[in-house]
Amino acid sequence: MSTAGPPQVPVPPGGSRREAPLRGGRTRVVYPALWSALLLMWLALGDTIAVADALVGALVATGAVLALSRLDAPPSGWRHPWTAVKLAATVAGDIARSNVAVATIVLRRGTRGRVAGFIDVPLDLRHTAGLAVLACIITATPGTTWAGYDARSGTLTMHILDLVDEAALVRAVKERYERPLREIFE
């Protein structure tokens, strides 16, 4: 009886670093840490270590890892982990403050003086992983939504629940989120 393990992916000639062939024509395991983490998370969320659940988790992890390997994403190359920790703390604080602000807006009667709207933020960030993290940050922050991104001009469109000062908000996105993300990814 064989057990499922991290997927083996055949490598075309000139494959990327993460899919380098081994001696003897074999290929190395692609994303073994991700595969293991997904399997462990599957088992933890299911609150079981039954063989059947482990096999299903292994299949799900294998499918996810194979799908990721097909995306041919550029290596993320985190260069400044301490900046990532500081960014995470900043985001957590901003989310907490925004929760209070949005709750206050929603629970108050009437919307006097409140204007919702769209703003455009010119971004210098071009790394796809950095843009994905920025999208997660903006969408996770109550009162803000990532509404669109124009890759040619590098312009992010955001919807804001309580648009008070557009210029201050553009500065905040660029200084609080974009600058650290550029330091991490570019």
What does the pLDDT read at residue 1? 46
Instruction: Outline where the chain has alpha helix (H).
Output: 32-46, 51-71, 81-107, 128-140, 166-172, 179-185
In order along its 186 residues, the chain shows pLDDT tens digits of: 445 555 554 444 444 444 444 455 544 566 788 889 999 999 999 998 899 999 999 999 998 888 877 776 666 556 788 999 999 999 999 999 999 988 888 888 766 677 889 999 999 999 888 899 999 999 999 999 999 999 999 999 999 988 888 999 999 999 999 999 999 887
3-state secondary structure of 162: coil
Model-level pTM?
0.65
Residue 157, beta-bridge partner list? 120, 148
β-strand pairing of 117-122 with 144-150: unpaired
Cα–Cα distance measured from residue 133 to residue 83, given in angstroms and rounded to the nearest whole number: 14
**Residue 117 and residue 162 in contact, taking contact as beta carbons nearer than 8 Å:** no
Residue 147, beta-bridge partner list? none
Query: What phi-psi label fits residue 25: left (phi over 0), alpha (psi between -120 and 50 degrees) or beta?
Result: left
